[in-house]
Amino acid sequence: MIQLDLRGQVAVVTGGSSGIGLATAELFLQAGASVAICGRDSDRLARAERELRERHPQAQLLAARCDVLDANDVAAFASAVEQRFGRADMLVNNAGQGRVSTFADTTDEAWREELDLKYFSIIRPTRAFLPMLKSTAKQGKNASIVCVNSLLALQPEPHMVATSSARAGVLSLIKSLAVELAPEHIRVNSILIGIVESGQWRRRYDNDAAAQAAGQSWQDWTGELARKKHIPLGRFGLPEEAAQALFYLATSLSSYTTGSHIDVSGGVARHV
């Protein structure tokens, strides 16, 4: 990857305590940016902060507990970022997980929870950090919002009906934001991920009695699943691979790109 000097710039990453969010925070720190991360789990957040500080002793890093679905939490997080760094240049909205359910077994409550999570994990942080992003843009500097979305937005699955529907709506939201904010020189883009290695998948592997009894390695287990799921590259994605796409869209490397998305699914997409 081309290395940028991001000293003096501030990147904000929600869901930054693990997985894709943590890998993205790492890239920003490597490039010299000041970074603010948040997460709901205080213990996991503390571990992430400790790991990042060990690898980057001179890092300008803020870690704050925040539930992005809680308006007060998000407002407090934005205020903490402004007090600590005085600005925000890049916002990475990375929160949410998939819900396995069909139309027949998805309750009204489950629909509301899924739509609330997918929409407001973007709406609330964007609303809170928009004044700082506008200030950055008025200075003629790179101001951007990048969202982690799923390939389900374009390629829905019947066993994930609520998530697929919500993800499609989020894709439309991102496009609308991009058009609305373009005159103010704030870019808005997203990535569409397929299956990416995560703690959730690790737990499934650990709980697979047959795999453990057979001594099947993580690589073989995920490779077998990738083949069953018809992933052309034959493996799961890595958090770092999704993070690199987010880094590209957040920084001036993609200065003429807005309202767009990058497919990070290992070739699963069937649409042209």
The pLDDT of residue 2 is 54
**Considering only CA atoms, which of 190, 161, 202 is closest in space to residue 263?**
190
Q: What single DSSP character describes residue 196?
A: B
Predicted confidence (pLDDT) per residue in 255-267, tens digit? 999 999 999 999 9
Model confidence at 7, pLDDT cuts 50, 70, 90, reads very high
The pLDDT of residue 109 is 95
Element (H, E) at 65: strand 61-65
**Mean pLDDT lowest for which of 36-50, 56-70, 91-105, 147-161?**
91-105
Mean pLDDT across the stretch 66-87? 97
The pLDDT of residue 53 is 97
Q: How far apart are the first and last CA of the chain?
A: 27
Mean pLDDT across the stretch 234-250? 97
Mean pLDDT across the stretch 25-29? 98
The answer for 106, left when phi > 0, alpha when psi is -120 to 50, beta otherwise, is beta
Q: Map out the domains of the chain with their CATH numbers.
A: 10-195+238-264 (3.40.50.720), 197-236 (no CATH)
Task: Give the span between the Cα atoms of 191 and 148, in whole angstroms.
Answer: 5
Predicted confidence (pLDDT) per residue in 157-210, tens digit? 999 999 999 999 999 999 999 999 999 999 999 999 999 998 888 888 999 898
Task: Give the span between the Cα atoms of 34 and 71, in whole angstroms.
Answer: 24
161-192 as b/e, with b when 16 or more CB fall inside 10 Å? bbbbbbbbebbebbbebbeebeeebbbbbbbb
Model confidence at 50, pLDDT cuts 50, 70, 90, reads very high
Instruction: Round the average pLDDT of the chain to a whole number and report it.
Output: 95
Predicted confidence (pLDDT) per residue in 77-93, tens digit? 999 999 999 999 999 99
Model confidence at 19, pLDDT cuts 50, 70, 90, reads very high
pTM of the model: 0.95
The pLDDT of residue 185 is 98
The pLDDT of residue 142 is 97
Percent of the chain exceeding pLDDT 70 equals 99
Q: Would the pLDDT of 57 be above 60? A: yes
